Chains A and B, each alone.
Chain A
Amino acid sequence: MTTDDEIDKARLAQVLAEVPKGSVVVAVTAIAIVVAIWFAFYFYAFLPRGPIG
C-alpha cells in the first residue's frame, strides 16, 4: 500500500516529464512577434524621426 504523498509525487513526476512543447512554441512566437514590432518601431519610426535630447 502506498501513501497519498507517494501518489502525488509520482503523478507530479509524470506531469513534469511531459514538457508542453506546444506552449513553449506559442510563448516563443509571441515574444518574438512583440520584439519584432519593437524593433520595427525603433528602426522605421523612432530613428528616422531624428535625434532628441
Chain B
Amino acid sequence: MAEISGTANLPPSGENQSETSERLWVAFVTATVALLVVVVVFTSVHWGFHPPSQVETIDSTSLHKGGEFSEANLGTVVAPDGSAVVRVVAQQYTFVPNCIVVPAGKPVTIRLASADVVHGFIVEGTNVNAMVVPGYVTTVHTTFQEPGERLMPCHEFCGVGHQAMWAHVRIVEASRFPTGADKQKAVNCAS
C-alpha cells in the first residue's frame, strides 16, 4: 500500500462512510415516499376521498326507453335528509339537463350515463372529474360548499361538436329546493 502514491492519508473506513451515506439516503427517500403514502391513505380513509366509480353497467342504447335515466328522472332529486341525487345523460353534444341545480353544503351524488360515445365531465373549481363511458354508470359523490354557478364542460373529445358541449352547475341554498309532495320530482335550473 505504501507504494501507491496519494494513499498514505486514506481513512481506514472509506467504504463504510460511503455505505453509511447511501443507507442514510435510502432511509431519507423511503421516509419521504412513506410520508406521501400516509397522507394519501389518511385522505382516503379519514375523509372518504376515492376515485369516482364506474362499475355499474347499463344499456346505453335504451336509456330513453325508461329506467333510471329516462327523461322524467333527469335532474336533481333531494332526499328527506337534504342530500341530493343528480341524474344526467351525456350525449353528442350536450348534457341533459344542461343546467343542473344542487344544494350547497349537502352531500350530492352525481350519476351520469352516456347515450353514445365516451364523454367526460369536470365541474370547474372542484375535484369532480370523471369519464362517462357508454355501458357504464359514472357515480361521483361530493359536497359543494359555496353557492354559485360553475361550468361543467365535456373534457373527452367526443366528436366535431365537442367544444360546444358543456353544462352549468348552479349551487343554491338547500332551503330553495321543493318540499312536500314535489320533493321527489327531478328538478333543474328551469324548474
Give the B-binding residues of A (Cβ under 8 A).
1-2, 6-7, 10-17, 19, 24, 27-28, 31, 35, 38, 42, 46, 49-53
Contacts and interface: CB of A to CB of B under 8 A. Distances in A.
A24 B126 contact: no
Given A49-B126, A52-B50, A52-B126, 19 more contacts: A2-B3, A11-B7, A13-B7, A13-B10, A14-B10, A16-B17, A17-B11, A17-B13, A24-B21, A35-B32, A42-B39, A49-B125, A50-B126, A50-B127, A50-B145, A51-B143, A52-B52, A52-B129, A53-B142
B6 interface: yes
B128 interface: yes
Contacts of B128: 50, 52
Contacts of A35: 32, 35-36
Interface residues of B, number: 37
B14 interface: yes
Closest 7 CB pairs of A and B: A17-B14, A16-B18, A53-B141, A13-B14, A52-B127, A49-B127, A16-B14
Interface in B27-66: 28-29, 32, 35-36, 39, 47-52
B81 interface: no
B49 to A, nearest CB: 6
Contacts of B51: 52
B29 A38 contact: no
B85 to A, nearest CB: 14
A24 to B, nearest CB: 7
A7 B52 contact: no
A35 B36 CA distance: 8
B10 A10 contact: yes
Contacts of A42: 39
Contacts of A7: 4
Contacts of B115: none
A50 B142 contact: yes
Contact of B14 (A2, A14, A49, A53): A14
Contact of B32 (A11, A24, A31, A53): A31
